[in-house]
A and B are shown apart, each in its own frame.
Chain A
Amino acid sequence: MNRALPVAVVGVGVAIAALAQSKDFSPPPPAWQVALQGTTSTAAGKAIVTSGKGAAIACAGCHGANGIAPPGTPFPRLAGLPMEYVAKQLFDYREGTRPNPMMAPIAKALTDADIASVARYYASMDPPAAQTGATGWSARARHLARYGDNALAIPACIDCHGSDATGGGPILPPLGQSASYTTAQLQAFRSGERHNDGDTVMREMSKRMSDADIKALADYYGGR
């Protein structure tokens, strides 16, 4: 199935001047973007998610048949994530900018087209209904999320991830993951182990957060 891809538009909008001295003002698009522009299908994606492919075990085994990981597991939900984000993460697992012993071999077993199909399939699934009556969040977390911290030069989470935390595009995931997943990611950014954020933004912000800040934000967004 081919349809007009918003990513094609987004991708050409900002060309990275990696080397100003090269005078190459529009360098080629990243590999994940090229993959999404190729021939992909949600059907092929669904087959990989439910049955796996070669050395790549079925995604649904951990992430749930409906793309929502069972409560109490460390796995993120994937249903409804932006396809650009899912595709980029799989390329990053493969290249090691997001090191993960479980995901790396899986990503390596998938072709570029497989990754694009899986990303398309997950993006087509319905995200879980937003929880209401969330509990467990603190005034500190709410302030960080909505206003940031002037003394620490941390802008509000919602500046980029959106007032409804739905994110969008290749580098902005929705934030409504489990508290354990959110904590693990912020800690991985802080240590530099995960280094696939745009322009080191998350690595730097998380360095200025205390353990208590990270826990507070994880609870705040995990309770949504």
Chain B
Amino acid sequence: MSKKDIIRKAFIRTLPVMAAYVVLGMGFGILMSDRGYGPVWTAACSIFIFAGSMQYVTVDLLATAASPLQAALMTVMVNARHLFYGVSMIGRYRGMKKSKPYLIFGLTDETYSLLCDGREDPPDRQQTELYCLLVTAFDHFYWVFGSVTGAVLGSVLNFNTTGIDFSMTALFVTIFVEQWMTSREHRSALTGLGASILCLLVFGSSRFLIPAMILITILLSVPFLAKRRDPEEENRTGTKEEMR
């Protein structure tokens, strides 16, 4: 495969992401300018954070002048899934050289979904590295381009933006529905909703988030720990270990 073929392949593969990132990025840029943060702020966020849902949350953290600790905790909760992506990409990215740090930095949900199975990989390893690098870089570019365009539009166009912050709610509702429809098990989704509503009622809207995160982590850990205690389960994994 020639370099040109790899570039073309990566570009075509990322076209669906282009559509999504440009539109969602624009939404982010408009929200930022709506809160008084211009194109430079927006560009900085999209270049250095490069995490869609979390950037929408960041708009809110900025607007409410959240504390750094609150921002850090929020980031851990919203982006914890990246640990999972990383773990499953260790093997795929093993042996990659110069571009490895950037590949890891740019491992968003969408990039992960394009690269995780390796089905589209070019035949040799060096070409694979280039292909992964291009997919990651194209996605990054779409995201920065979309969000800066949104920020510029938001500061130039003079329309009544009241209510545009609903795009964030809408984004999370679509992800929630999508996850609900593609998963057979709804216990964790319901735990998240239930625990958050409970904490909102108990602690009030300005301080419910951290208790909600703690409660969710505890509630989700219970079934895991309960299963571990099961001695039979323990035995079975024990023998498996020995057999290896």
A binds B: no
